[in-house]
Structure 1
Amino acid sequence: MKISYNWLKKYLNTDLPADTISKILTDNGLEVEGLEEHEQIKGGLKGIVVGHVLECAHVEGTEHLSLTRVDVGSEQLQIVCGAPNVAAGQKVLVALPGSTLYKEDGTSLTIKKAKMRGIESNGMICAEDELGLGTSHAGIMVLDPSTEIGMPAAKLFNLSSDHVFEIGLTPNRSDAMCHTGVARDLAAALHHRCGENSVQLKLPSVDEFKTDNNELSTPVEVRNPEACIRYSGLTLTDINVTESPDWLKRLLEAAGLRPINVVVDVTQFVMLEIGQPLHAFDYDKIGGGKVIVQCMPDETPFVTLDGVERKLTSRDLMICDAEKGMCIAGVFGGEQSGVSMETKKVFLESACFNPVSVRKTAKYHGLHTDASFRFERGTDPEITIYAIKRAAMLLKEITGCKISSDISDFYPEKVAKPVVTINFAAMDAFAGSHIPAETTIGILKDLEFEIKNQSPEEITVEVPLNRTDVARPVDIYEEVFRIYGYNNIPMPEKSNTIYPKNTGLTLHELIQKISNYFAAKGFGEIMCNSLNSMLWYEKAGVYPVGNIVTIQNPLSRELNIMRYSMLPGMLQSVAYNINRSAPDLKFFEPGKTYFKETDDKEKAVTARFSETNMLSVIMTGGERPENWKYKPETSDFFSMKSALEGLFGFLGIMDSVVAKTEVNDQFAFGMTYILNDKALAAFGLVKSEICKLSDVDSDIWFAEINLDLLLKKARKTSIHYKDIPKFPAVRRDLALLIDSSVSFEMIRKAAQTAEKKLLKNVDLFDVYIDKKLGDNKKSYAVSFMFRHDEKTLTDIEVDKAMERISGEVLKVTGGVIR
């Protein structure tokens, strides 16, 4: 939010330096993120002075160049000029060597001593467009003959400069989205923290407001009072729509707005002055001369000011006339009802709309305006009348228009101001320091909180309606502390520390270990949005949509639920990369998924909803970067299986995990790992129809790991390291003819059951499938590594171990040795 210092000083009698004001505002909680000088004309016409052309002669051999001698007050300069209208005796504007001219396209030109056609030129006689004073380039600017020689151009044109504060507003401070709101905070701080008791906040008076006639009253009907808290309006006639006066344009430009015409500019000015958005309608375009505030049927077309036709929803509040919609209430005006340079009659609107209603409409249509920005955060319903009077008086002063109706005001149910009681002792305990009661009361009064009841121990205050963020005693404490100055609250001499109970491995530490593991494997960590689209899950058709957590006030239809699975977000990341010619991807992401346990609203929130810490892994495309040394290999089932089992081995839990080929419905096929009868992880090939929902046509291998379950097991598992073996290992191979349904895991488990002491490792090093082996048959070549920790094994010992292993493997698998 941009705040003009010159504008602030209209309400505060202070001349403190801008950087001092910047520090005070930041200490108040209105953090100044930037302070810049704003010039009416870029560069401020520095180095531009009034000159008197003493001599002017045509340069021989040229069509338009003239050699002049110009008196600039301090010296006489020889300048070559190409303007057709330059002549002796003129008073002109001269850019001295070293000065800089700024063009409209953002480029600049630094004036230097130069030679033109071999003739030395020491400056430049300027046209108005070269100085930013106009658009004409027909010739140089010729000034009044009485203009003082050597006068700086900035003084001649009475140019002003300003300082603009860029304030990073927090969402709760809707009261500070205007100059008077910032001025109120600043005045309170100057009183109580800086001792500037002479500084007074003075707001513009509207006591002189009066109606000129009642020739054009405009009836107003509000049909949706739950969305329109208050609606005020009046009519102006005989208005002359022109450009705004310079003072108004300068203030709007300093605040970052582009002046349009006097009517629009005044509504913008009032909004930036007191925080109340206004809207002006061309009265002659109001069908039936009546204003109706209502919602319209679904899919009603409406063309907004930007020329875009939008389809309304039945919950969008509209400002209508007797025939059509004119404006999306609190969000954006319509193309057919706006004020133009031909407008002669204006209907002014000053309203207070329901913040939730405005927010839903603005998000749905993707419209983010200065008005919606304020209405979404809550405006003061008590200020609508003041705002419309202020705007009407300004327009009357500038354009000479007439106020041709009384103010129509719909306010059926007055909004009650919150009442909060605070205890001085409790506030002191909260601050850790004593703040005098009279200081607290003075601060609250300066912030326009009304003291309703007072005793030596406590006070009861009425909160102004523009402070939508203040509802509890602790909110009042914050108001007092920030104006009193957090830096004025002393640090305690004693510091107390609570040491957390050591519960072993933490979730953060586990995630860090897992992240290091996957990063070492060539995976990249990503972070996806935890909000998804319900429509995606409905189209997928494999998720229990009744158990998905929905958002009450979603940002958009694409972000209306808490994610049930991490797959949608990861697919979006995959699609984004593939569309940018990066098809070989390996990602992982730790995060939460969310589940609705019941619809029973009588139960506690923690009983109705649950969240689970998960780790998701996704692979697609090539397994490794293209390289001359290696053949291209595509990520597949075994790539993901290897990554997951490597992780389990890294954490020391592989022996506790049981693999099963059963998977959930989002996979075409895959595998589930069971730990203590619970699903620890599942992975597989994502169904193509699910991938296509995110515009992904590649094969996607996806895995989800339950980190909560993994953490419990990892906390109970100790990793032990052993010395490098002193004795050699012995290898034996076994070729088996088995049914195609037999897995390598069955063979490994059988071997480990048969020989627990000497068997150190079991590997599958060859798979052979051929019709010659028989129907549903395959051949596995398996290696077994044996080693004794205390001696060298003999062939007899190894052979006996192999006999036991072979017997158990053949028994379990039903296979035969080839």
Structure 2
Amino acid sequence: MNISLSWLKKYIQLEESAEKIAEYLTETGLEVEGIETFEQIKGGLEGFVVGEVLTCEPHTNSDHLNCTTVDIGVEENLSIVCGAENVAKGQKVIVATIGTMLYPEEGEPFKIKKGKIRGEVSQGMICAEDELGLGKGHDGILVLEGEKAQAKNGTPASKIFDLQNDTVLEIGLTPNRVDAASHYGTARDLKARLKREISIPSVDKFDTLKKEINKTDAVQVEIKNAEACPRYSGITIKNVKVSDSPAWLKMALESIGQKSINNVVDITNYVLHSFGQPLHAFDADKVKGNKIVVSTLEKGKEFVALDKETYKLAESDLVICDSELNPLCIAGVFGGADSGVSDSTTNIFLESAYFSPDFVRKTSKIHDLFTDASFRFARGTDPNNTLHPLKYAALLIQEIAGTEKTIFSEVTDLYPQEIEIPSFEVSYNYLNRLIGNDIPKETVKQILTDLDIKISNETEDTIIVSVPTYRVDVLKPADIAEEVLRIYGLNNIEFPQTAATDYIAPSISKDQEIRKKTADILVGMGFSEMMNNSLTSSNYAKALGIESSSVKMLNPLSVDLDVMRQSLLFGGLESITRNLNRQEELIKGFEFGKVYSKIEEPKDEQHKYFEEWQLGILLAGQTPTSWNAKATPVDYFQLSSVVQRIMRAVGFDVADFDQSKLSEDNELQYGIELTKRTGRDSSQQILKMGLVKKKLCKLTDTNTDVFFAQIRWEVLLGLKIKPREFSALSKFPIVRRDLSIVLDKKVSFADVQKIAQKTERKILQNVSVFDIYEGDKMEEGKKSYSVAFSLQDTNKTLDEKTIEKTMQRLISAYEKEGALIRK
């Protein structure tokens, strides 16, 4: 939000510098993010001076140029080549001297340089109106007349045109402070902070005007939806002249970044930024039936807005219509193309209303229309202040766009159910405890009074406060504490010499402890933690074929953030792509996060949605090349080893679960899953890991293999964790024996492990595979595992007889399962 300092000074006396005023505003919560100088004419006409044409002769090498001599009040006169037809001896003109920057109305800025034009030296430029930025005229040079022509040669042009610069404060307005979204609203905060009076322009003159438009000739108003429009005020004004705005009005609007349109529309914008109350002017002759109807219409009705776009209305859109229910304006959001003020308008109906923030907010979002008016209506304007801005605008219209025949109607003001002023009790002890300091009661009462918060009743420890309706953010005692604190000043709160607290943070839970430990292990293995948005694109759900179970946002921030995520995969892929695009070769990431979905057949209303904590682990890219090693792409087995380590750290072993290949999965091209039996014929997935499908990677422009593991963290921690047992390292040696086992291709290594662990529980310490053969020498449908068995007795050294006996039992167990032991 931009605030003009000169505009602000119309409401409160300010002698301080812009920097000091910015400091005061920031202290009160209106943070000033920048201070800029606004120039009425860009460049401030620096380098432009008054000159007198002493001589003017035709150029010898051109039929349209003239060679002039110009006196600009310096020792030597300037030789200037000029192409204007109207240049003549004796004229007082404006000259751009060497080095001056020109900012023309159209085209790029350029600097005046000394040069030759067709052989003649030119030491400056005699300027036209548009080259100075004073207008659009380019028929010839600007010739000074009247008092301006009496100025001495060399007088800066900025003085004779009485240019005025302004200082503009850029305020980062927080969403709750719509009451300060105007110059007068900003002045109210300075009033409380500086203990100064503020003034508001009087509208008494309007009340004394003779209202020559009778009630029947004035535009009539009917409210059909009082919930969406609790109050509607308006005035009919006839015989106005629509034209350009005066310079002061243009400058005021342009200083805060507003474009001048015409005098009537500019007045409505000026009042908006003065008092925060949006107004709208209708061409009264285009209001059929001479009647305004405020209503919602049937869904799908078309409306052509000021931007010439056609919008299909929703059922919840509040519309300003004529007597035939033709939409003239989307209430509080956008005007219509056919009912707005134009150069041919002579009669207007001026609207000042209070529209429900809920309705305006929803309409703005549906149609993606965000205007200065909707910004304020959607956050809450003051329902009890529609009349003063309306009357003030009417007086400005009479002054700027009025004629001798301009006449007014009485104010139409429909306010069927008055909105009450909020009132509640506040305790001084509560305020002091929340603020952290004992603030004197009189100081508290003075601050509240300065903020227009009335105290209606008072006891020894409590007060009853009545909050003005323009303060939509002050609703409870905590808000009063904030109001007192921001005016009293955070810097005035004493900090104790010794810090103490009566709040003790609870110790972390067992689950949080395991999660922290897991994260530390992953970081120690070179992984980085990711924190991705829980909101994601519905395109991902479509790609997975699970769109029907998506939890859709009713009010999405954008089309890319319109559903809650059902997987941690896509946020991880986006992070991988972002890092790969920044020349990261190896990406190792993990994320603890929730996933969400809709239950298609819920048991009841309380079980419509599903959410669950999961752990996602991703590997992509390759190890960086070094002097002693080539780059190696990541693979499935690296991910598998990471997952096994995590499972052991939590208190499980992969062998504790049923392991199987993924037959069909909507995310992974291949991989395995671990499940836990929950019944005779039912099981629950605990983990899946494998290679991400290429088509999913393409959705995020990820051009590399990505390996992904998904651990259902809540489910895993809900299982019974095995108690951790520690024992001293055995002093007796480990013996290794190898077997070459031929078995069916469908048999996994996990099956081989299970058979071994079931056969020998006492001295078998580990089973690992060190080679797999599936070549042409192997029978079709078969493969060969070379398996190493580590044997150890923790109480004594194993003898050969025990070793041989154990291995024979293992061989027999495998042969019973149909395996062939190669000898």
Specify the TM-score bucket, using the shorter chain as the normaliser.
0.7 to 0.9
Output the CA distance in 2 between the equivalents of 1:461 and 1:284.
Answer: 47
* Cα distance per residue 1:553-606 (max 9 Å; x no partner): 5557875654444456567779999999999998654432347898978x8xxx
Matched residue, 2:749: 744
**Is 1:126 paired with 2:131?**
no
Matched residue, 1:201: 198
Could you tell me how far 1:615 is from its partner in structure 2? 2.9
Matched residue, 2:54: 54
The residue type paired with residue 163 of structure 1 is T
Matched residue, 2:346: 344
From the superposition, tell whether residues 114 and 659 of structure 1 become closer, same or farther in structure 2 (CA, over 3 Å): farther
Output the CA distance in 2 between the equivalents of 1:789 and 1:501.
Answer: 43
Matched residue, 2:681: none
Output the CA distance in 2 between the equivalents of 1:609 and 1:173.
Answer: 35
The residue type paired with residue 36 of structure 2 is E
Structure 1 window deviating more from structure 2 (694-703 vs 168-177): it is 694-703
Matched residue, 1:593: 595
Matched residue, 2:296: 295
Output the CA distance in 1 between the equivalents of 2:755 and 2:266.
Answer: 84
Equivalences for residues 714-729 of structure 1 within 5 A: none
* Cα distance per residue 1:356-398 (max 9 Å; x no partner): 2211221122111111111111111111122222222211211
The residue type paired with residue 492 of structure 2 is N
Could you tell me how far 1:3 is from its partner in structure 2? 0.7
- Which residue, out of 705, 713, 734, partners 2:711? 705
From the superposition, tell whether residues 642 and 760 of structure 1 become closer, same or farther in structure 2 (CA, over 3 Å): closer
CA RMSD of aligned residues (A): 4.6
From the superposition, tell whether residues 412 and 809 of structure 1 become closer, same or farther in structure 2 (CA, over 3 Å): farther
Structure 1 window deviating more from structure 2 (343-352 vs 671-680): it is 671-680
Alpha carbons 1:280, 1:338 under 8 Å: kept: yes
Matched residue, 2:175: 171
Output the CA distance in 1 between the equivalents of 2:294 and 2:471.
Answer: 26
Alpha carbons 1:651, 1:719 under 8 Å: kept: no
Alpha carbons 1:432, 1:492 under 8 Å: kept: no
Could you tell me how far 1:44 is from its partner in structure 2? 0.9
Could you tell me how far 1:235 is from its partner in structure 2? 1.9
From the superposition, tell whether residues 45 and 755 of structure 1 become closer, same or farther in structure 2 (CA, over 3 Å): same
Matched residue, 2:252: 251
Matched residue, 2:660: 661
Matched residue, 1:397: 399
Give the 3-state SS of the residue equivalent to 2:192 in structure 1.
helix
Output the CA distance in 1 between the equivalents of 2:304 and 2:328.
Answer: 9
**Is 1:681 paired with 2:683?**
no
Output the CA distance in 2 between the equivalents of 1:276 and 1:468.
Answer: 14
Output the CA distance in 2 between the equivalents of 1:128 and 1:721.
Answer: 95
Output the CA distance in 1 between the equivalents of 2:81 and 2:408.
Answer: 56
Could you tell me how far 1:326 is from its partner in structure 2? 1.9
From the superposition, tell whether residues 58 and 557 of structure 1 become closer, same or farther in structure 2 (CA, over 3 Å): closer
Give the 3-state SS of the residue equivalent to 2:205 in structure 1.
coil
Alpha carbons 2:757, 2:764 under 8 Å: kept: no
From the superposition, tell whether residues 734 and 324 of structure 1 become closer, same or farther in structure 2 (CA, over 3 Å): farther
Matched residue, 1:513: 520
Could you tell me how far 1:787 is from its partner in structure 2? 8.2
From the superposition, tell whether residues 124 and 726 of structure 1 become closer, same or farther in structure 2 (CA, over 3 Å): farther
Output the CA distance in 1 between the equivalents of 2:5 and 2:584.
Answer: 50
Matched residue, 1:39: 39
Output the CA distance in 2 between the equivalents of 1:673 and 1:77.
Answer: 94
Alpha carbons 2:655, 2:754 under 8 Å: kept: no
Matched residue, 1:196: none
Output the CA distance in 2 between the equivalents of 1:583 and 1:48.
Answer: 59
Matched residue, 1:460: 464
Output the CA distance in 2 between the equivalents of 1:171 and 1:161.
Answer: 30
Alpha carbons 1:271, 1:278 under 8 Å: kept: yes
Output the CA distance in 2 between the equivalents of 1:714 and 1:108.
Answer: 75
Output the CA distance in 1 between the equivalents of 2:254 and 2:484.
Answer: 34
Matched residue, 2:73: 73
- Which residue, out of 472, 476, 482, partners 2:486? 482
Matched residue, 2:384: 382
- Gapped regions of structure 1 (runs ≥ 5): 192-198
The residue type paired with residue 72 of structure 1 is I
Give the 3-state SS of the residue equivalent to 1:782 in structure 2.
strand
- Which residue, out of 759, 763, 771, partners 2:769? 763
The residue type paired with residue 223 of structure 1 is K
- Which residue, out of 137, 150, 155, partners 2:154? 150
Alpha carbons 1:755, 1:805 under 8 Å: kept: no
From the superposition, tell whether residues 496 and 697 of structure 1 become closer, same or farther in structure 2 (CA, over 3 Å): closer
Matched residue, 2:191: 187
From the superposition, tell whether residues 287 and 535 of structure 1 become closer, same or farther in structure 2 (CA, over 3 Å): farther
Matched residue, 1:331: 333
Output the CA distance in 2 between the equivalents of 1:722 and 1:45.
Answer: 89
From the superposition, tell whether residues 427 and 111 of structure 1 become closer, same or farther in structure 2 (CA, over 3 Å): same
Could you tell me how far 1:285 is from its partner in structure 2? 2.3
Could you tell me how far 1:785 is from its partner in structure 2? 5.9
Alpha carbons 1:599, 1:608 under 8 Å: kept: yes
Structure 1 window deviating more from structure 2 (468-477 vs 701-710): it is 701-710
Number of aligned residues:
797
**Is 1:279 paired with 2:283?**
no
Give the 3-state SS of the residue equivalent to 1:381 in structure 2.
coil
Give the 3-state SS of the residue equivalent to 1:41 in structure 2.
coil
From the superposition, tell whether residues 555 and 288 of structure 1 become closer, same or farther in structure 2 (CA, over 3 Å): farther
Could you tell me how far 1:72 is from its partner in structure 2? 2.4
Could you tell me how far 1:320 is from its partner in structure 2? 1.9
Could you tell me how far 1:338 is from its partner in structure 2? 2.0
Could you tell me how far 1:53 is from its partner in structure 2? 2.6
Output the CA distance in 2 between the equivalents of 1:688 and 1:311.
Answer: 40
Could you tell me how far 1:184 is from its partner in structure 2? 0.4
Alpha carbons 1:48, 1:93 under 8 Å: kept: yes
Equivalences for residues 496-575 of structure 1 within 5 A: 496=500, 500=505, 503=508, 506=513, 509-510=516-517, 512-513=519-520, 516=523, 520=526, 527-532=531-536, 542=546, 545=549, 555=557, 562-567=564-569
Output the CA distance in 2 between the equivalents of 1:728 and 1:54.
Answer: 114
Structure 1 window deviating more from structure 2 (56-65 vs 90-99): it is 56-65
The TM-score, its normalising length taken from structure 2, stands at: 0.83
Alpha carbons 1:614, 1:708 under 8 Å: kept: yes
- Which residue, out of 438, 449, 455, partners 1:451? 455
Alpha carbons 1:657, 1:673 under 8 Å: kept: no
Give the 3-state SS of the residue equivalent to 2:212 in structure 1.
coil
From the superposition, tell whether residues 713 and 344 of structure 1 become closer, same or farther in structure 2 (CA, over 3 Å): same
Matched residue, 1:195: none
The residue type paired with residue 20 of structure 1 is K
- Gapped regions of structure 2 (runs ≥ 5): 679-683
**Is 1:216 paired with 2:217?**
yes
The residue type paired with residue 102 of structure 1 is Y
Could you tell me how far 1:353 is from its partner in structure 2? 1.6
Output the CA distance in 2 between the equivalents of 1:126 and 1:714.
Answer: 88
Give the 3-state SS of the residue equivalent to 2:379 in structure 1.
coil
From the superposition, tell whether residues 477 and 610 of structure 1 become closer, same or farther in structure 2 (CA, over 3 Å): farther
Equivalences for residues 220-235 of structure 1 within 5 A: 220-235=221-236
The residue type paired with residue 273 of structure 1 is S
The residue type paired with residue 366 of structure 1 is D
The residue type paired with residue 204 of structure 1 is P
Could you tell me how far 1:313 is from its partner in structure 2? 1.9
Alpha carbons 1:101, 1:109 under 8 Å: kept: yes
Matched residue, 1:95: 96
Structure 1 window deviating more from structure 2 (665-674 vs 351-360): it is 665-674
From the superposition, tell whether residues 153 and 204 of structure 1 become closer, same or farther in structure 2 (CA, over 3 Å): same
From the superposition, tell whether residues 655 and 48 of structure 1 become closer, same or farther in structure 2 (CA, over 3 Å): same
Could you tell me how far 1:71 is from its partner in structure 2? 2.8
- Which residue, out of 427, 436, 439, partners 2:443? 439
- Which residue, out of 403, 421, 438, partners 2:425? 421
From the superposition, tell whether residues 782 and 102 of structure 1 become closer, same or farther in structure 2 (CA, over 3 Å): farther
The TM-score, its normalising length taken from structure 1, stands at: 0.84
Could you tell me how far 1:49 is from its partner in structure 2? 1.6
The residue type paired with residue 406 of structure 1 is E
Alpha carbons 1:760, 1:787 under 8 Å: kept: no
Output the CA distance in 1 between the equivalents of 2:295 and 2:543.
Answer: 34
- Which residue, out of 729, 732, 735, partners 2:740? 735
Give the 3-state SS of the residue equivalent to 1:37 in structure 2.
strand
Matched residue, 1:261: 262
Alpha carbons 1:241, 1:262 under 8 Å: kept: yes
Alpha carbons 2:644, 2:654 under 8 Å: kept: no
